[in-house]
Amino acid sequence: MNFRAQHPSMGATLADVGQEAEVDALFEAVAQDFDGLDILVNNAGIAGPTGAVEDIMLDDWNSTLNVCLTGQFLCVRRAAPMIRAAGGGLIVNLFSAAGRFGYAWRTPYSSGKWGVIGLTQSLAKELGRDNIRVNAILPGIVAGARMDGVIRARAAQMGMSAEDCEREYLARISLRRMVDPEDIAAMVLFPCQPWRSEYFGPVDQR
């Protein structure tokens, strides 16, 4: 793994978050290697297929939701007791602007991201009494190889060039540029800072 090579002093475990047994093994490794758990960042995701709804295979639908939605549930299910035992902490769910806007030809991905909204809001109300904050970050279009692949697939679906398709994407963004991964990392770090619960008042657990 590149991460292990670049950060030899840090632990790393390879896991498919859509598989329950692999998530269990991941958190067993965390429990063995660390004194506890304070923060969970749910960041795993896949782009899923691009195509008309009648052309999307059930296996592709299931694999997209398994990673983008079920994977977050499986990780929180194991992390929440550990964070509770530590006296509280933070869960950050990464999803997407696709969780607020539907996208043609991206139904599995968009559906999974909409599901994360309900997951996050429900967890915030459930876990707030345990001093566990649950937040979500909704990036727009993130620069990188995955988005390049999405643009190429959508361009093919629309019968246009990848360059023209990218220009259409950027035209809908106020800054006319994609989000850098470093921007997202900075947003994740912000709620990880020490905080005092009295600043925020009582938690609404309705």
Q: How far is CA 44 from the centre of its chain?
A: 5
The answer to whether 48 and 68 have CB atoms below 8 angstroms apart is: yes
The answer to whether 64 and 108 have CB atoms below 8 angstroms apart is: yes
What is the enclosing helix (H) or strand (E) of 52?
none
Say how far apart CA 144 and CA 99 lie, in whole Å. 20
Beta bridge partners of 137: 94
Q: What is the three-class DSSP state of 136?
A: strand
Say how far apart CA 30 and CA 171 lie, in whole Å. 43
Report the helix count and the strand count for the chain, using DSSP H and E: 8, 3
Share of the chain above pLDDT 90, in %: 43
What is the per-residue pLDDT across 179-197, written as a single tens digit (0 to 9) for each?
Answer: 787 888 888 888 787 655 5
Identify whether 109 is a catalytic site residue: yes
Domain 30-140+180-193: what homologous superfamily? NAD(P)-binding Rossmann-like Domain (3.40.50.720)
What is the per-residue pLDDT across 26-46, written as a single tens digit (0 to 9) for each?
Answer: 999 999 888 889 999 999 988
Q: How confident is the model at residue 4 (pLDDT cuts 50, 70, 90)?
A: confident
CA distances in angstroms from 71 to 88, 105, 165, 196, listed in the order given = 22, 23, 30, 30
**DSSP code for 179:** B
Q: Where are the domains of the chain?
A: 30-140+180-193
**According to the model, what pLDDT value does residue 200 have?**
46
Encoded tokens for 77:
């299910």
Say how far apart CA 124 and CA 136 lie, in whole Å. 10
The CA dihedral of 99, 136, 146, 11, to the nearest 10 degrees, is -150
Encoded tokens for 74:
């499986």
**According to the model, what pLDDT value does residue 199 have?**
45
**Range from 62-71, 168-177, 197-206 carrying the lowest mean pLDDT:** 197-206
Q: Would you say residue 24 has pLDDT above 60?
A: yes
As a whole number, mean pLDDT of residues 160-189 equals 80
What is the per-residue pLDDT across 112-158, written as a single tens digit (0 to 9) for each?
Answer: 989 999 999 999 999 999 999 999 988 777 777 777 777 788 888 77
**Given 103, 109, 169, 199, the catalytic residue:** 109
In what order do the strands lie in the sheet containing 132-137?
Answer: 39-42, 89-94, 132-137
Pick 205 or 48 by higher pLDDT: 48
